[in-house]
């Protein structure tokens, strides 16, 4: 296992004091999963107090004491951060993620300290000096069988967030939940333990599920199996809602939504916040079908589901976060997600596309619509081409409204230069000029000024 030199050096210092440094947690797991190791967590065994560890670390870099009461020291060396911690026991004393009594003990064994961890794959260690892996709970076998298994019943149920962690881990690594772990999670959901979780913590797990999973559908299916989905009625409502086979041969709205969200992962931009917005938009894009699906003898339709999906989207998102602007931007993508296909079929005029750009980012809209289109099993979708989206993007590039609206040709200062006195009429005049610009009747500054002079003459 690759270990940064600074950690090796500190490990050698600790050895001289009859202490031991062990790499723990996600970095060891990711090594076995052949994933990039980004963060290193080190547990230190054999010291009497965390002050001893603090003194050693300060000789080599900066130490942030913000987590000291929890037995954790944030160590920074050469602009790289590492977590050094003492082995500890966490005992649940009250509800909530802060309701734990934490006792640090540098003399604990690795196996005893690892009992507080959630899953076997997160409970491995790497002894730096002996250069060997420690696997007290059979994680290597679980990795071979791609099984996510909890360690200890009593400690696992103390933090209900672990149900959400099980969901996102299974999706990220394409693992199956062990039968005993699945049963335990179902029991925790059944007795309402998840209700004590603050939405901020849940939101973090949703982000990991969406941003880090090659197939988020695995997580949402597990969410359904564990009955976690009952806390998200907008999602649950999609199950078994039928669709017209001509356009959706893959099945009901739930099946289509999961296929679309998996397609969206292939369209990510690399900008985390933007990708999160697009992923949520795809997840929510058909919420309106739960109320607007009509089943007739000859056809199944959902006219108006786009607009009908706006309010359910907001309700769903506010269960996870209070980021108003972010939520509104997702709702807007839901409302307009059918537009690229409609504009393509109707041969939308340039002015229509320009006006669209003032309401929504066309590049983002086409990405959501593309995931929607590809997330089905029609022959056109299986071809991998979304002609409507490609056409709209090309038109938007030609009109220079690909990811932003046209810049107004004139501003208030131009009206002042023409001798007008600032007033509430300025907005009316500028809006008229901009509307003519969107319509293609005004294409440059001189034409805009000429139009204003005509208005002044009137």
Kindly indicate the confidence band of residue 440, based on its pLDDT and cuts at 50, 70 and 90.
very high
Domain ranges of the chain: 5-143, 146-231, 266-406, 412-457
Q: What are the contacts of 35-42 at 24+ separation with CB within 8 A?
A: 37/2, 39/81, 39/82, 39/83, 40/3, 40/4, 40/7, 40/82, 40/83, 41/82, 41/83, 41/85, 42/7, 42/10, 42/82, 42/83, 42/84, 42/85
- pLDDT per position as a tens digit, 95-137: 665 656 678 788 899 999 999 899 999 999 999 999 999 999 9
Q: What is the reported pTM? A: 0.93
Average pLDDT value for residue range 319-328: 98
- Core vs surface per residue 299-316: b (16+ CB within 10 A) or e: ebebeebbebbbebbbeb
- pLDDT per position as a tens digit, 278-296: 999 999 999 999 999 999 9
Kindly indicate the confidence band of residue 457, based on its pLDDT and cuts at 50, 70 and 90.
confident
Residue pair 290/253 in contact by the 8 Å Cβ criterion: yes
* Least confident residue range of 67-76, 124-133, 266-275, 337-346: 67-76
Q: Mean pLDDT of all residues in the chain?
A: 94
Identify the pLDDT of residue 99.
58
Kindly indicate the confidence band of residue 91, based on its pLDDT and cuts at 50, 70 and 90.
low
Average pLDDT value for residue range 385-408: 97
Q: Pseudo-torsion of CA 144, 146, 152, 156, nearest 10°?
A: 150
Identify the pLDDT of residue 97.
58
Q: How far apart are CA 262 and CA 278, in angstroms?
A: 12
pLDDT at 41 over 80: yes
CATH 1.10.110.30: does it fit domain 146-231? yes
CATH class of domain segment(s) 5-143: alpha beta
């Amino acid at each position: 296992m690759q270990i940064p030199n600074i950690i090796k050096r500190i490990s050698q210092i600790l050895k001289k004091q009859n202490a031991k440094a062990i790499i723990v947690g996600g970095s060891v797991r990711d090594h076995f999963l052949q994933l990039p190791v980004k963060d290193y967590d080190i547990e230190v065994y054999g010291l009497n107090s965390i002050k001893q560890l603090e003194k050693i670390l300060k000789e080599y870099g900066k130490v942030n004491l913000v987590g000291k009461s929890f037995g954790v020291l944030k160590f920074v060396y050469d602009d790289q951060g590492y977590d050094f911690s003492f082995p500890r026991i966490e005992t649940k004393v009250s509800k909530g993620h802060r309701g734990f009594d934490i006792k640090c003990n540098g003399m604990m064994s690795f196996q005893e300290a690892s009992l507080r961890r959630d899953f076997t794959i997160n409970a491995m260690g790497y002894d730096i000096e002996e250069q060997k892996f420690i696997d007290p709970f059979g994680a290597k076998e679980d990795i071979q069988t791609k099984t996510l298994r909890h360690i200890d019943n009593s400690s696992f149920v103390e933090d209900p967030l672990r149900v959400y962690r099980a969901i996102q881990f299974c999706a990220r690594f394409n693992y199956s939940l062990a039968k005993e772990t699945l049963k335990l999670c179902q029991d925790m959901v059944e007795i309402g333990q998840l209700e004590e979780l603050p939405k901020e913590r849940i939101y973090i797990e949703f982000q990991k599920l969406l941003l880090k999973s090659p197939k988020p559908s695995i997580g949402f299916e597990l969410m359904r199996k564990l009955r976690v989905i009952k806390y998200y009625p907008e999602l649950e409502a999609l199950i078994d809602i039928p669709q017209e086979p001509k356009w959706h041969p893959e099945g009901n709205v739930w099946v289509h939504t999961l296929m679309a969200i998996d397609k969206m992962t292939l369209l990510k931009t690399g900008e985390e916040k933007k990708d999160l917005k697009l992923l949520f938009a795809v997840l929510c894009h058909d919420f309106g079908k739960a109320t607007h699906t009509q089943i007739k003898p000859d056809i199944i339709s959902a006219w108006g589901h786009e607009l009908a999906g706006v309010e359910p989207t907001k309700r769903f998102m506010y269960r996870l976060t209070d980021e108003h602007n972010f939520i509104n931007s997702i709702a807007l993508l839901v409302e307009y997600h059918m537009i690229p296909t409609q504009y393509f079929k109707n041969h939308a005029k340039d002015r229509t596309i320009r006006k669209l750009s003032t309401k929504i980012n066309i590049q983002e809209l086409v990405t959501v619509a593309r995931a929607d289109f590809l997330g089905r099993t029609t022959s056109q979708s299986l071809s991998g081409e979304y002609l409507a989206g490609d056409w709209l993007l090309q038109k938007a590039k030609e009109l220079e409204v690909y990811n932003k609206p046209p810049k107004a040709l004139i501003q208030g200062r131009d009206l002042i230069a023409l001798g007008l006195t600032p007033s509430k009429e300025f907005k009316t005049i500028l809006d008229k000029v901009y509307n003519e610009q969107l319509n293609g009747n005004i294409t440059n500054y001189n034409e805009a000024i000429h139009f204003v002079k005509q208005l002044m003459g009137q």
